[in-house]
């Protein structure tokens, strides 16, 4: 009887520890998961969402670029809108490979960058594969960017907010408060199980 009780307490303790591990894993990671690879001079890449108001002029700049350089009947479909910070070891150009949903091989992808002086610059991104693009960033450290693909005008979505998404984060939907509460409960259960195990012996 004593052996069965001890075994039950040990199993309960293992389950509680496993649950606390899940609680920690569900907490949002600090960096986005869409950056797949960078050039060797890049130390880190950080992202943050930007507002619809901040996105709008960048999308307009991309539309003007497409109209001037690619001809009429085309528009820009925004796919990703973020504030991007790239920390480098030197002042050279940086290469950042990103996973962007909605991109397919053969697409023309443009990136609109907000310069520190308030002007915008539009550059092409290289499509490496379905959902994968490569950005070559010159003289860039921090700024708002909008990534979009060129589509026929009748296929473009007018609503920037619904089409431009932020970089996903691991466990981004989990509430930090609820995770902290769950972890505290797990620690309390560990303490109770420990005391019961000591008594059972």
First to last CA, the chain: 12
User: pLDDT at position 163, please?
Assistant: 36
Same domain, 14 and 80: no
Q: How many domains does the chain have?
A: 2
Same domain, 134 and 184: no
Ranges of residues in the chain whose predicted pLDDT is under 70: 1-33, 158-201
**Cα gap 193→198, rounded to integer Å:** 9
Q: Is 9 domain-assigned?
A: yes
Same domain, 72 and 109: yes
Q: At what angle do helices 2-26 and 176-200 cross, to 10 degrees?
A: 160
Same domain, 150 and 188: no
User: pLDDT at position 161, please?
Assistant: 38
**Cα gap 152→170, rounded to integer Å:** 34
User: pLDDT at position 36, please?
Assistant: 85
Same domain, 112 and 190: no
User: pLDDT at position 153, please?
Assistant: 87
User: pLDDT at position 141, please?
Assistant: 86
User: pLDDT at position 191, please?
Assistant: 60
User: pLDDT at position 34, please?
Assistant: 75
Which are the contacts of 181, defined by CB distance < 8 A and separation ≥ 6? none
């Amino acid at each position: 009887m004593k052996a069965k009780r001890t075994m039950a307490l040990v199993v309960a303790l293992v389950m509680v520890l496993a649950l606390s591990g899940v609680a920690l894993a569900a907490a949002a990671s600090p960096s986005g998961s869409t950056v797949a690879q960078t050039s060797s001079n890049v130390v880190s890449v950080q992202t943050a969402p930007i507002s619809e108001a901040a996105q709008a002029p960048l999308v307009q700049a991309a539309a003007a670029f497409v109209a001037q350089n690619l001809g009429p009947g085309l528009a820009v479909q925004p796919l990703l809108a973020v504030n991007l910070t790239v920390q480098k070891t030197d002042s050279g150009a940086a290469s950042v490979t990103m996973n962007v949903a909605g991109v397919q091989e053969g697409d023309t992808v443009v990136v609109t960058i907000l310069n520190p002086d308030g002007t915008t610059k539009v550059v092409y991104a290289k499509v490496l594969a379905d959902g994968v693009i490569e950005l070559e960033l010159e003289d860039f450290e921090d700024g708002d960017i909008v990534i979009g693909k060129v589509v026929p005008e009748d296929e473009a979505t007018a609503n920037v907010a619904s089409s431009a998404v932020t970089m996903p984060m691991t466990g981004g939907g989990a509430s930090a408060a609820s995770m902290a509460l769950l972890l505290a409960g797990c620690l309390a259960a560990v303490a109770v199980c420990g005391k019961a195990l000591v008594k059972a012996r």
